[in-house]
Amino acid sequence: MSTFLNEVERLNREESTRAKYRLTLEGRLLGWCATQKPPITSLSELDVETIRRWIHSWHGAPTTGHNQHQRVITFFFFCVEQGWIMENPAKKIKKVSPEQDETQPFTREQYNALIEATYFYDCRDPRKSGDTVNSRRARAYLKLLRWSGLRAGDAACLSRDKLRGDDSLFLHQKKVKGKASSPVYGLLPHDVAEELRNVPASAYTHPNHFFWSGRSKRKSEVSNWIKIFGKILVKATETHAKLFLEFDGSSRPAHLHMLRDTFAVEYLLAGMPLEEVSRLLGHSSVLITQKHYAPWVLERQQRLATSVRTAWSTMGLNAAAPVINIADGRSGRVVKRAARS
């Protein structure tokens, strides 16, 4: 097992990925094997039925189980390649389907309320509202997430050399099968780029980065920004309760990743092809993008509406103004509207 974990590290996987493998294999699999009577001590004892018993002992959400199962499959595949075992027992056990969270971007009203809240969330002196170091850093970070589509960790650890003079931002290296990887750049609005260039440093910020100290782990940086976002959300909810609360008073979904969703959805509603949005997001396959964002593709919605009107016409119905569900490009919400012929 240590050989596999060393290989994961050699391949320069993210620290968070390495930690998940250690938790699944060293923390859970080895721990479970030690509690069996008699204890399981060799790899050859982990046959299909034994692995199945272990998997049946898991608790937690379907997505967690699905991802953990995939890590186990990867481990045993490595063992097969090394010649230690003849078959992959985990692959013969069907994985549970992961939960598919509904993509919920922020509406433009919600986003504006969050930006407004950055002016006050950390301000003790009303005369300095919006001008504190923390306020300016939080505002620049949220705008970066919204207009770049970067993941929270990538934005938190972004280096200054990634932003070029023409306001284009290096997002990632696009890997093309059989070809050399090519850089992918996204364009930031000029005011957002300028705000990012001028973002003040904290006492710990590395001079080569916008937000990061250069020492802490990526996971710690994300955790810190999640806490800051929580404070901003509280302030936004205080001043714009209707935007962030359901009718029964419960909280509407609101988290950092929704800014990445907002980036993708706004471009799709503006008519950008799914393949181009997928390239900006850095997905390994357009199928991943389609899985999460297909309902927001403007062309798809328009084509569906046309098909409905054609079908109604064939059925002899008045298709002059059918009421259909489409996405409101102004806010990102799904609303009912009479379609125009």
CB 254 within 8 A of CB 110: yes
Q: What is the DSSP string of 250-267?
A: PBPP--THHHHHHHHHHH
Amino acid type, 130: G
Question: Can you spell out the DSSP letters for 278-316?
Answer: HHHHT-SSHHHHHHHHGGG-HHHHHHHHHHHHHHHHHTT
pLDDT of residue 309: 82
CA distance 264 to 278: 8
Looking at the DSSP bridge assignments, the partners of residue 184 are 172
Domains of the chain, with CATH numbers? 2-92 (1.10.150.130), 108-295 (1.10.443.10), 305-338 (no CATH)
Cβ atoms of 142 and 182 within 8 Å: the answer is no
Tens-digit pLDDT profile for residues 280-295:
999 988 888 988 888 8
Whether the predicted pLDDT of 197 surpasses 50: yes
Residue 83 gets the label, from left (phi > 0), alpha (psi -120 to 50) or beta, of left
Residues 76 and 233: beta-carbon distance below 8 Å: no
Burial class (CB in 10 A: 0-12, 13-18, 19+), 187: middle
For 156-185, write each residue's pLDDT tens digit: 999 999 999 999 999 988 765 555 568 899
Joined tokens for residue 81: 């390649």
6-15 confidence digits (pLDDT tens): 998 888 887 8
pLDDT one-digit tens code per residue, 35-49: 999 999 999 999 999
Per DSSP bridges, beta strands 334-338 and 182-187 are unpaired
* pLDDT, tens digit, 9 for 90 and up, residues 59-86: 888 888 989 999 999 999 999 999 999 9
Residue 80's pLDDT is 94
